[in-house]
Amino acid sequence: MNRCLALLLALGATLTTGCCTHCCTKNGDKNMNIKQEPFGTTKNGKPATIYTLRNANGVEAKITNYGGIVVSLTVPDRDGNFADVVLGYNTLDGYIKKTPYFGALVGRYGNRIANAKFTLDGQVFNLATNNGPNALHGGIVGFDKVLWTARPLQTANGPSLELCYVSKDGEEGYPGTLTVKAVYTLTTDNGLRLDYTATTDKATVLNLTQHSYFNLAGQGNGDILNHEVVLNANAFTPVDGTLITTGEICPVKGTPFDFIKPHAIGERVNQQGDEQLKFGGGYDHNWVLNKGFEKQLSLAATVTEPKSGRVLEVWTTEPGLQFYCGNFLDGTITGKSGKVYKHRYGFCMEPQHYPDSPNKPLFPSVVLRPGDTYTHTMIYKFAVK
Ligand code: BGC
C-alpha cells in the first residue's frame, strides 16, 4: 500500500440538520392505493405484512415491515418488458432461515466494526460479534431481523411506506435508545427513494444503509459480470485480510478500482496480483465519493446492463458507497421462482459512512448525540439506454 496516500480528513462531516419528530401511527391514510397483504409470521409469532407500491409507469416495489426488506422491484427494459431486478425470496420464511441481507434495511451499523468494539467519550462499548471477531451489519439481530411499525402514505412524490423502529439502549451492545424512521417512496420518475432519520437519548454511533442485491437482467438470470459500472469516486478505503478498513484512503487511479470511466464488473474483478481484490474475493470495498462530506444528494454510481438496456443510478447524501459484487453467493441459495443464486449473481450498492469509522478517527464522524437528528437519503433510480 505504499502507493497510497493516507489523507488527513477534516473531521465532523455534518450528520445533523433541522429537526424532525419521530412518531409512528399504526393506521395509515385509508384512501390511499397501496396494497397490503399478510407475509407470514416471525419466529415470535408476530404477523409481518408486505406492501405493494406502484407508480403510474407500472413500476412496482414490494416491501415488508420485517427488516424493511425490499422483496421485489419490477422495472422495464428498453422494450418495455418488466422484470424483477432484486434477489430474494417469495416468503418470509426464506428471509428468516438464511439470507445474506437480501434487500434489507441495515443498522445500526452497516459493514464491519473491528473486534466488535469501539470507544466513545472515553467509554468502551462491546458489540455482538457475528462475523468472526467483528460486528457486521448491526449484529446478531440487526434492523434487518426486526419488525418495524408500518404506515402507508400517499405523497406528492408517489406512494410511500413509513417504517419506524425503536431500538433499545444496549441492543446488540450499542448505546442509546434510538428512534429510527425509514420512508420508502416509489417516485413518479421510477426511483425508489429512502429517507432515513434517527434520534437518540445517549451519544451513539450510527450508519444505516440498504442491502438490495441487483441484477438488471432480472433476478436469477445469470451473473452480473457484464454490467457496466461508473463510480464517482477517485479514492477508496482499502481493507486488511479480514475485510476491516486499514484507515487509509487510496487513489483508485491505475488500479482495478478505478470506475471513473465505465468498466464491466467482470473486466478486472479476477485480476491476478491485486491484493485488495484478493482480500475482498472481488469487489467488496467502500469507495470515497467525490461529493465529499457535504450532505447534498449526489450521483454516486451508474450501472448499465447492455442487453436489457436497464440503467440503475444510485444517489446519496452519504460520503461513501460499498460496492459488493456478490462474491459470497455460492449457489447454496434458491431464491424467488426457484432461481439458484450462484457466484456473483447480484451486486449491492450500499450508500454509507466508511466501514469501521467508530475506530478510525480520521474518517468522517458517525457519532449521533442527543438533540441532533441523523438524516440519510438515497435513491435507486431506474432508466433505460
Ligand atoms: C459486505 C460483505 C458481506 C455482505 C453480507 C456486504 O455489505 O461488504 O463483505 O459479506 O454484505 O452478505
Q: What is the pLDDT of residues 70-95, one digit of tens each?
A: 999 999 999 999 999 999 999 999 99
Q: Ligand 1 in contact with 350 (CB < 6 A)?
A: yes
Looking up cell 451499523 gives 109
Q: CA–CA separation, 232 vs 205, rounded Å?
A: 26
pTM equals 0.93
Closest C-alpha among 3, 291, 21 to residue 162: 21
Out of 171, 172, 211, 305, which one is annotated catalytic?
211
Q: CA–CA separation, 234 vs 332, rounded Å?
A: 35
Structural contact between residues 379 and 315, judged by C-beta atoms closer than 8 angstroms: yes
| Interacting residues of 45 by C-beta distance below 8 A, sequence separation 6+ | none
State in Å: Cα 364 to ligand 1 middle: 21
Mean pLDDT, residues 21-36 taken together: 52
Structural contact between residues 246 and 239, judged by C-beta atoms closer than 8 angstroms: yes
Query: Is 350 labeled as catalytic in the residue annotation?
Result: yes
Tell me the pLDDT band of 41, cut-offs 50, 70 and 90: very high
Cis check for the bond before 268: say yes or no (omega within 30 of 0): no
Q: Ligand 1 in contact with 243 (CB < 6 A)?
A: yes
- What was the pLDDT predicted at 33? 72
Tell me the pLDDT band of 31, cut-offs 50, 70 and 90: very low
Query: Is 227 labeled as catalytic in the residue annotation?
Result: no
Q: CA–CA separation, 156 vs 67, rounded Å?
A: 26
Phi, psi (rounded to 5 degrees) for 97: -75, -50
CATH number at residue 216: 2.70.98.10
Mean pLDDT, residues 153-165 taken together: 96
Q: What does the pLDDT look like over 250-305, one tens digit per residue?
A: 999 999 999 999 999 999 999 999 999 999 999 999 999 999 888 999 999 999 99
Longest CA span, the chain: 61
- What was the pLDDT predicted at 194? 98
Q: CA–CA separation, 298 vs 316, rounded Å?
A: 6
Mean pLDDT, residues 181-197 taken together: 98
Q: CA–CA separation, 347 vs 354, rounded Å?
A: 18
* Domain count within the chain: 1
Ligand 1 atom closest to Cα of residue 101: 12
Containing domain of residue 192, as a range? 3-384
Q: Ligand 1 in contact with 213 (CB < 6 A)?
A: no
- What was the pLDDT predicted at 6? 43
Mean pLDDT, residues 18-46 taken together: 65
User: Percent of the chain at pLDDT above 90?
Assistant: 90
Q: What does the pLDDT look like over 49-60, one tens digit per residue?
A: 999 999 999 999
Q: CA–CA separation, 46 vs 147, rounded Å?
A: 8
Cell numbers at residue 323, please?
A: 460496492
Structural contact between residues 246 and 1, judged by C-beta atoms closer than 8 angstroms: yes
Q: CA–CA separation, 332 vs 323, rounded Å?
A: 22
DSSP 37: E
- What was the pLDDT predicted at 299? 98
Mean pLDDT, residues 176-200 taken together: 98
